[in-house]
Chain A
């Protein structure tokens, strides 16, 4: 059963249309992440799901019940905010019980629930403190406790980790993921951090300009991006997308980068889809992940194509070195070993693994599947 269904959602603020028809269905127990650049409409979508904003058109259904016109309190949801939004004048305990107080839950049951959540999140010792006496990480825990204490149909997280420092963020990421595994509830999680999305999500909804670009597993979003936007948004660095001409070489398809140039590069595509045959002798966008272009020092494979490219820039990151190079005039990024040092202007050999590449229609920008 779908825990959450959103159908044909439109939202306008004045003359700007923030959501342009969103359809989304999240299964029970799923960890769905709404991912996109700022201004893509992901927070607005979350607010509409929560009932804090009203859509101009469309329907929201939670747990099989249409809730479009209902206020937040009647939707059986709990929400964690980016700013934590802890009530400053109340103790941690009161913050956690406020929701139950509003719903008239008896005192004994409240205490029981607080004890359970405090143990779960290890905030037992903080219950009588005020939010101002807590560190950022502790506030984050309390904000989660406030949501967890009510066993709702749906948890909504609005960029909950973006106010934490980098180290703590990694810890909390792991914790939220473990928490989800333990309690098994349905979560809709908004973030602009793709590492968070990739590591935590069971499915990622990539959004841009008020439209849903793709809603799929992290693996699929990463390896089979639905369009050029997703390809260029996901991954650090993102997928290389270069203009290429498709040709056939016997049974195999070949992508020719920089066709007609003296240094034109021919890349055989062993795994190209059948549909790509329609594009023979036409221009496409050829997509390849930076890790598929290496110096050959690691992940050497007999099927890799050997090419040569001119090095423009070298960025050592510690675990690896990202190289910006010109392959037949097209700019690409490659990930090479941490100890490889290439000089600017130098022409260097690279190994290109073409088994997992993507082809995109240059007009519609959609994946040729």
Chain B
């Protein structure tokens, strides 16, 4: 089977350049579409189920199955999830946790991107003694597993008196994001011709002026990529949220876990829970829909000509 597919793919790719497709090539192409489509459906099933359930009432789900076509259109699930649903004995919905997440994600994204751009600029376009060593050490941050960093962070937060605060999460995500943002920006900036920097130096510009006037205006593609990457990564992060915050201080990802531990006597609120999950995922979905284009473009862009 796999061989047949591979063969068909090879044939289709080979034939794609020809103006007139042979019947065999057409068959091959349909096979490719069919395979791709089935993968897409497979990946979208969970989202589909949650979407459908979010507009079904608890009663409807209870009488039927968790997988089913909605009979009505129960938008009250969203209202309930937003402001009334009880999560860990607090019946205020997800809105406060959403707000926590926003307070955590926006500053951490902006600060880590800004510092990463500056660090990447300095590592790529200014040679200084030991610059490769500095960069190598920063890169290690990319490969360090999160679990390893939990205890050091716990100690640091205690020393700083930031235990159970959103500020603590902002600090953690800013610092931990630096490796990635620096790497992204550095890889983009090495494509900027050295002559531009030399010309600016001869013109009399210094480190920050060159960054601000010459390098940053060339950087929107990579800045957008970095912001999207950081925003989705920090918003979706769970481990630090659940480890270092409790109760009202938790970000949405940590708080929403409490949904799954509703008491056994209750009727399962699958509809409201689905709505809550969708609300929690909404910001990253929006970022993807509006920024995804730039993301693809930014990753392949590099040369500044």
Contacts and interface: CB of A to CB of B under 8 A. Distances in A.
Interface of A: 47, 50-52, 71-73, 77-79, 81-83, 85, 87-90, 98-99, 102-103, 132, 146
B304 to A, nearest CB: 6
B204 A85 contact: no
B218 A89 contact: yes
B205 to A, nearest CB: 5
29 contacts: A47-B198, A52-B202, A72-B201, A72-B202, A72-B204, A73-B203, A77-B202, A78-B202, A81-B195, A81-B198, A81-B199, A83-B193, A85-B195, A85-B198, A85-B199, A87-B196, A87-B199, A87-B200, A87-B213, A87-B214, A88-B196, A89-B217, A90-B217, A98-B200, A98-B203, A98-B213, A102-B203, A102-B209, A146-B203
A98 B198 contact: no
A99 B204 contact: yes
Contacts, number: 63
A79 B200 contact: no
B218 A73 contact: no
A369 to B, nearest CB: 40
Contacts of A52: 198, 201-202
Contacts of A132: 305
Nearest to A156: B202
A79 B199 contact: yes
Nearest to B196: A85
B202 A79 contact: yes
Interface string B194-236: 0110111111110001000110011000000000000000000
Given A81-B195, A82-B195, A98-B213, A88 B203 contact: no
Contacts of B217: 88-90
B199 A73 contact: no
Contacts of B204: 72-73, 99, 102-103
Contacts of A81: 195, 198-199
A98 B218 contact: no
A73 B201 contact: yes
Nearest to A83: B195
Given A85-B199, A99-B202, 18 more contacts: A52-B202, A71-B201, A72-B201, A73-B201, A73-B203, A77-B202, A81-B199, A83-B195, A85-B193, A85-B195, A85-B196, A88-B218, A90-B213, A90-B217, A98-B205, A98-B213, A102-B205, A102-B209
Contacts of B218: 88-89
B209 A73 contact: no
Contacts of B203: 73, 98-99, 102, 146
A91 to B, nearest CB: 12
Contacts of B304: 88
Contacts of B202: 50, 52, 72-73, 77-79, 99
Contacts of B205: 73, 98, 102
A191 to B, nearest CB: 17
Nearest to B220: A89
Contacts of B200: 87, 98
B193 A89 contact: no
Nearest to A99: B203
B196 to A, nearest CB: 5
A43 to B, nearest CB: 11
A222 B93 CA distance: 89
